[in-house]
Structure 1
Amino acid sequence: MFFSWSLVVLLLVSSTWAEVVNVEEETSRELSVGELLERANRERTPDFDEPMVIGGDIAVNSEAERNADPCTANSCLWRKWTDGKVYIPYYIANHYSSRERDIIIRGLDSFSAVSCIRFRPYQSGDNEWLSIESKSGCYSYVGRTGGAQVVSLSRQGCLYHSTVQHELLHALGFNHEQTRSDRDNHILVYWENIIDDMEYNFYKIDTLNQGTPYDYNSVMQYERNAFSKNGRPTMVPTPNNNVAFGQATQMSRNDIDRLNRLYKC
């Protein structure tokens, strides 16, 4: 009897230890930005005043904008000042905790270290700024739209360095890497595996590539199974289908180079 109870206790302890190990493995692995965005926006229930979201996290104001890129002309760029810097005002809603604000500010500050972009706090008299709020999911408009421009960083799933950088790059004028016009030379799309009515998320557009090569490591590249309806890949790299992609956790060298070329830093 003693032996039987000892065996039961040992099995229970072993099971609990295995569960702890599994949890630690999951939390220790830093998720890619695409995985984080898809998790955060999977059950998105927008309020009546929120925009339509396409491509997973790109805000648009109407159905007509779904297949158009609003930022292929200079009109979408933020203004450069005489000192060569691009000053972009921002306002962070007061519903974030101090820790959450620190994550957002770290993401904002990361641009000044590698480019001429300078995010600064909103001041009275600013007529266009980024209004960073915890809305439904993670999303941003592409490029400058004027006035109070919402960047949604939900407290439920969006407050990571990679997602902050990703949404800010949208606001600066960049789309997803997999929608590049030269995408088919680097990525094969498996349309049959895409969730019904989500195919438009993979349509190619005239993106602002700035003469940089296709970047599998871009923080704007989604992962292999993005928008999959059956767990099978929706994207596979070509010609080498073993190349890792969509695993970025921060801006890549090409992301930074492309940003500096666009804004002539």
Structure 2
Amino acid sequence: MEQIILLCLISTCISTIHAQKLLFSPKWGPIGYKEHDADDMTAMDEIIKANEFQASRLIDGSTTLREGDIAVSSGRRSKVCFARSCLWSKSVDGHVYVAYSLSPKYSEMETKMIKKGMDGVEKGTCVRFVPRTHQRDYVEIQPKTGCWSYLGSRGGRQTVSLQSPDCLRVGVISHEFMHALGFVHEQSRLDRDNYVTIMWPNIWRDRLRNFEKFKTDSLDLPYDYGSIMHFGMFAYSQDGSPTIIPKNNQNSKDIKLGQASSLSRIDKMKINKLYKCGTTDE
């Protein structure tokens, strides 16, 4: 009898382990999850991984996520901002000061990581993040569920969610603050089909809307394959096949989509051009 019980216990353990492997393998994992080499991960890959594991597309009763990490509200403050609208105010000294408050739930090390992500946006641009004192318009950084931000300045308090530890990576933090400054994902540009091919059959059906195009202002700047705001090649892939590939040209095989940790040169140019400020020291 004891042998039978022991065999049953062993069988149960093996079944549990097998189920866990299926649940968290790339084939059976959450939508959009694909195990990449660390060197191949983009900021958006990290965001997809965090949001598909942890977050829902419905943040609360009136706020949903668009394109994977852009918070959109229905109701009184539901306007969606694109380039040249909903900008943060520019100071007389030429800088754009974005006030922020930081949740006390973050550790000292996590706080340093968030500030490092801010530094990545500040370097080479006129944007400066400053701790809130009296400012009416400000960003409240909270370790809510997932990585997400509203688009542009909404007026008053607005949340940027940086869940710990999944979203506390320099590139992810910079990516979300780019949304807060008013920038959408690069492949959402209206002219994107001139530069990339969206492989619709490879995208999970529930996430097809994340690849829509919008009438955004490209600011007369080149399409930026290496933008920190660009989806990675395998974003929301249902079977591990590419969902975005560069258009055929001599260098297409050498093009890497997206950035892992830092703004591209064109990302910084976008900020300075959108906010009409000169390039600051690098």
TM normalised by structure 1 equals 0.82
Q: Is the 8 A contact 1:72 1:206 kept in 2?
A: no
Tell me the residue number matched to 2:46: 36
Tell me the residue number matched to 1:92: 102
Tell me the residue number matched to 1:242: 253
Tell me the residue number matched to 1:168: 177
Tell me the residue number matched to 2:230: 221
Tell me the residue number matched to 1:3: none
- The alpha carbon displacement at 1:30 in A equals 6.6
- The alpha carbon displacement at 1:168 in A equals 0.5
2:126 to 87, 101, 116: 116
Tell me the residue number matched to 1:11: none
Tell me the residue number matched to 2:208: 199
2:272 is paired with a residue whose SS is helix
Answering whether residue 192 of structure 2 is matched by residue 183 of structure 1, we say yes
Q: Is the 8 A contact 1:92 1:133 kept in 2?
A: yes
2:159 to 150, 164, 172: 150
- Cα root mean square deviation, aligned: 2.2
Tell me the residue number matched to 1:54: 66
Q: Letter of the 1:38 partner, please give it.
A: I
1:208 to 191, 206, 217: 217
Q: Letter of the 2:130 partner, please give it.
A: R
Distance in 2 separating the partners of 1:38 and 1:53: 12
Farther off after superposition, 191-200 or 164-173: 191-200
Unaligned runs of 5+ in 1: 1-25
Distance in 1 separating the partners of 2:109 and 2:40: 19
Aligned residues: 236
1:169 is paired with a residue whose SS is helix
1:176-225, Cα deviation, whole Å (9 max, x unpaired)? 01111110000111111111132111111122321110011000011111
- The alpha carbon displacement at 1:259 in A equals 0.8
2:138 is paired with a residue whose SS is strand
2:144 is paired with a residue whose SS is coil
1:263 to 263, 275, 278: 275
Distance in 2 separating the partners of 1:83 and 1:236: 42
Distance in 2 separating the partners of 1:102 and 1:51: 29
Q: What percentage of aligned pairs have identical amino acids?
A: 36
Distance in 2 separating the partners of 1:163 and 1:143: 17
1:43 is paired with a residue whose SS is helix
- The alpha carbon displacement at 1:50 in A equals 7.7
- The alpha carbon displacement at 1:108 in A equals 1.5
Distance in 2 separating the partners of 1:45 and 1:34: 14
Q: Is the 8 A contact 1:41 1:137 kept in 2?
A: yes
- Structure 1 pair 31–72 and aligned structure 2 pair: CA distance change class (3 A): closer
Tell me the residue number matched to 1:9: none
Farther off after superposition, 170-179 or 112-121: 112-121
- Structure 1 pair 129–27 and aligned structure 2 pair: CA distance change class (3 A): same
Distance in 1 separating the partners of 2:40 and 2:143: 22
Q: Is the 8 A contact 2:62 2:73 kept in 1?
A: no
Unaligned runs of 5+ in 2: 1-35, 278-282
Q: Is the 8 A contact 2:229 2:258 kept in 1?
A: no
